[in-house]
Structure 1
Amino acid sequence: MLDHSIRSNPKGLQEAPSLLYMHEDLLRTNGGSWDNPPHKPVWGKLHASVRDLFIESRKDQSLWGFKDPRTLFALHGWLEVCPDLQAAGIFRHPAAVAKSLQQRNGFSIAKGLHIWTAYNQKLLEWTDVLDLPIIEFSPVEAVMRPRLDAIISKIGLGARDADSFYDPAIPTSEAHNQMTLPEETRDTYHALRARALA
């Protein structure tokens, strides 16, 4: 069970608004933001209350979940009350993300790569701690569909609507072969690829 999208990206976001705002406030309360996240923010009572109300609102759902990249920096707070939660991750090439952030937010390529590295180092950390399954995004349908099948199988879900949800026609920016990556970014990317399914 996912939540809302936005008009310009009808399938891409799907963040639950209550969690998006709570996670962002959690980062800001700890001196950061989504584009400058603190490493391990301290949860406050308000953040825990929003979390608990969200879980309560899903009590009649046999299967539910949420998606928000900020969760990488907030996951310790979720594990306190959902120790058996099943997480899964997906990552893109750092240059593709940096170019997307440049187009969407006006960030420099260097800043975009810095943001990618911060989030994906955290993803790498959780991948090792939780044995979290991850896949690399590809705009090529013949490559991406087996990866989706692999991660869906890994977390024990049926395919159901996965085929109809994935849309290779949605434009992406994946022209990145010519970009030289900072060493830290490159090493993180290679480490993720070594752990990725399919």
Structure 2
Amino acid sequence: MSKAPVAVIGMHRSGTSCLAGCLENLGLRLGDVNTAAPHNKRGNRENPRFWPIHDAVLARVGASWDNPPSEPVAWTASEIAGLRAVLADYEDLPLPWGVKDPRATVILDGWFEVVPNLRLIASIRHPLAVAGSLAARNGFAAETSLHIWSIYNRALLFWRDRRPFDVIDYDAVDYENCVRLAGARLGLDPDAPMPFRTEDLNHQGAHGVDADDRSQSWAGLWAELKATAL
């Protein structure tokens, strides 16, 4: 079974932190990550050293995490070197090690240049729940959040068509079983205790967000995402 590195991808506020934390419970080594944050009770499970690298790649093409590029982005030699420098810290970790930063979802080209055997796993979440979470955290209008959600998830499907990987619905009733199945495929221990996810992590449902006629702009994409999920 492959023990290649793993990247957890998906739209912001879509359960990527929870998925990374659960996979860590099953044996995925995440390295030096954030374990506490104001909007993530157990931390976002991200290595902050990746943030400036990803932000610089995005900024160079006039983008940002909340204004994502809708086309693939080629990385410069200096950006690749920066990524390699951070990943040097992971060389001593037992495989499989993993990383998580939602920004990577829309700029994965550089990651595959540096880690050709990188495997992916994704978390998806109902767009209105994401919009509700971004409204609470960032004050974003629903229309803005739904637009960002669409770009990230189109990128997710772009890569899934090219490098098949498991997709986990954050609100699936059998979430734990889905994560354990995906974890086994990644070479992790599917029978290990998985205490990371608890009910108090989910603060936003798919209700209570006024999206009026905008539903037609995301309904088809959400159906496609759901069809790919375990």
**Same fold at TM > 0.5:** yes
Of Structure 1 and Structure 2, which has the larger fraction of its residues in strand?
A: 2
Kindly indicate whether residue 26 of structure 2 is the aligned counterpart of residue 26 of structure 1. no
- Give the structure-1-normalised TM-score: 0.89
Structure 1 contact 97–112 (Cα < 8 Å) conserved: yes
Q: What's the TM-score once normalised by structure 2's chain length? A: 0.78
Deviation at 1:108?
Answer: 0.3
Q: Mean alpha-carbon deviation: is it higher for 9-18 or for 110-119?
A: 9-18
Q: Deviations over 1:63-109 (max 9, x none)?
A: 21110111112211111121111110011000000111111111101
Query: Is contact 1:73-1:122 (8 Å) kept?
Result: yes
Q: How does 1:141-180 map to 2 (within 5 A)?
A: 143-159=174-190, 163-176=194-207
- For CA contacts below 8 A with separation 6 or more, give which structure has more relative contact order: 2
Q: In the alignment, which residue of structure 1 is the partner of 2:78?
A: 46
Partner residue, 2:130: 97
1:4 maps to 34
Change (3 A) 1:160 1:12: farther
Q: How far did 1:175 drift?
A: 3.5
Q: Give SS of 2:174's match.
A: helix
* Aligned structure 1 segments of 4 or more residues deviating by more than 4 angstroms: 177-181
Please tell me the residue identity of whatever aligns with 1:130.
Answer: R
What CA distance in whole angstroms lies between the structure 2 residues aligned with 1:162 and 1:12?
19
Deviation of 1:161 (Å)? 5.8
1:37 positional shift: 1.0
Match of 2:98, SS? coil
More off after superposition, 143-152 vs 101-110: 143-152
- Aligned residue-pair number: 195
Query: What is the Cα-based RMSD across aligned positions, in Å?
Result: 2.0
For structure 1, which segment, 109-118 or 33-42, has the greater mean C-alpha deviation from structure 2 after superposition?
33-42
Quote the residue 1:60 is aligned against: 92
Q: Which runs of 5+ in 1 are unaligned?
A: none
Q: Which whole-Å CA distance do the structure 1 matches of 2:127 and 2:193 have between them?
A: 25
C-alpha distance after superposition, 1:95-141 (max 9, x if no partner): 00011111111110100111111101111111111012111101x7x
Using the aligned pairs only, state the percent identity.
32
SS at the partner of 2:66?
coil
